[in-house]
Structure formats: structure tokens, C-alpha cells
Amino acid sequence: MEEKQVIELLRKHGLKVTGQRLRVLSIIADRPDEHLTAEEIYDLARADLPEIGLATIYRTVQVLLDLRVINKVTFDDGFTRYELNDGESASGHRHHHAICVGCGKIYSLETDLLDILEQQVMKNIGFEVTDHEVKLYGFCAECRKKNRRAKTDGTEI
């Protein structure tokens, strides 16, 4: 969603268009692969807006969530993270994630391979899937390479 659309959406809902709200949005939008926490957004926002408070970040994030401009995601690490709502796939679901258990890097998976499974579930038992979330855990290429080297060297990671 572009900034102009967000401005229109804020106004449509009777909300003020503030520099702080736009800055939070741009921080999230400029870092699509980082899945930032509110605290990380706060740290980045303070570089341009030193007077901004953490409470403002939390309120702004909540407004953007309520307007469905951003999504809340969790990766079982104890943190709530945020990403731009880049729309839904053809199936109507959000994208999925692959999480490296070695280094913690998070990859966004843009394809939804569960459409066929959902169709089979509907056909076989009449259950309509309205949403799902997939998190794949494993090792990224770099961590796999390190693991192979460690096994070859006899060292442990």
C-alpha cells in the first residue's frame, strides 16, 4: 500500500495524518525483510524524530494494524513483529515464512502452496479454510555451509 493510499485511509477513518505515523509506515515499508519489533521501529524513528516516544510507536502500530496496513507476525522467539500488508495471495492468505534456527534469519515465502490442500479439505470433509499461517524451520544456505565445515573440521557450532 502506498503512502498516498494510507493518507486517504487515515482521513477516511477520521484519523490525523501525522509525520510520526508516516515515519513509522515508511520504516516498516523500507525494510520488508526485517520484520521489525516496536522497539526496533522506535530506535529507527528516533534518528529522524528524537522526541518520539515508545508509546507513540505502539499507538501508531495499533492504528496501522486496525487499518490493515500492516500485519502482526510472531516467530516463536518471544517478540511481536510487524510487516507491511502487501496484499493477499490468490487464495486470500498472507505469505508464509521460513526461519533459520541457526542464525535467526527470516525469509518471506511469496507462494501459497496450500491452495490444493485447502480445496481437498473442502471437497473431502466440507471444511472451509478461512486462513492459515505456515512457518518452516530449518537452516539457511549459509548455516548449512557452516555446519558442513564444522563437521569436516571436527568442531562444533
What is the rounded distance in angstroms from the CA atom of residue 81 to the CA atom of residue 95?
A: 15
Residue 86 has pLDDT above 70, yes or no: no
**pLDDT tens figures, 35-84:** 999 999 999 999 999 999 999 999 999 999 999 899 888 887 889 999 88
What is the rounded distance in angstroms from the CA atom of residue 127 to the CA atom of residue 57?
A: 39
What's the whole-number mean pLDDT along residues 24-36?
91
Q: Are residues 69 and 105 in the same domain?
A: no
Query: Residue 17's Cα: distance from chain center in Å?
Result: 23
Q: Are residues 2 and 16 in the same domain?
A: yes
Q: Are residues 3 and 74 in the same domain?
A: yes
What is the rounded distance in angstroms from the CA atom of residue 37 to the CA atom of residue 18?
A: 21
Q: Are residues 78 and 106 in the same domain?
A: no
Q: Which domain holds residue 100?
A: 90-157
Q: Are residues 12 and 79 in the same domain?
A: yes
Number of domains in the chain: 2
Residue 31: CATH number of its domain: 1.10.10.10
Of 23, 35, 21, the closest CA to residue 84 belongs to 35
Q: Are residues 104 and 141 in the same domain?
A: yes
Global confidence as pTM: 0.69
Residue 144: CATH number of its domain: 3.30.1490.190
Tell me if 76 sits within 8 A of 135, measured CB to CB.
yes
Q: Are residues 127 and 76 in the same domain?
A: no
Copy the grid coordinates of residue 90: 490468490
Tell me if 2 sits within 8 A of 25, measured CB to CB.
no
Q: Are residues 13 and 25 in the same domain?
A: yes
Q: Are residues 103 and 153 in the same domain?
A: yes
Copy the grid coordinates of residue 7: 493518507
Q: Are residues 60 and 98 in the same domain?
A: no
Q: 3-class DSSP state for residue 10?
A: helix
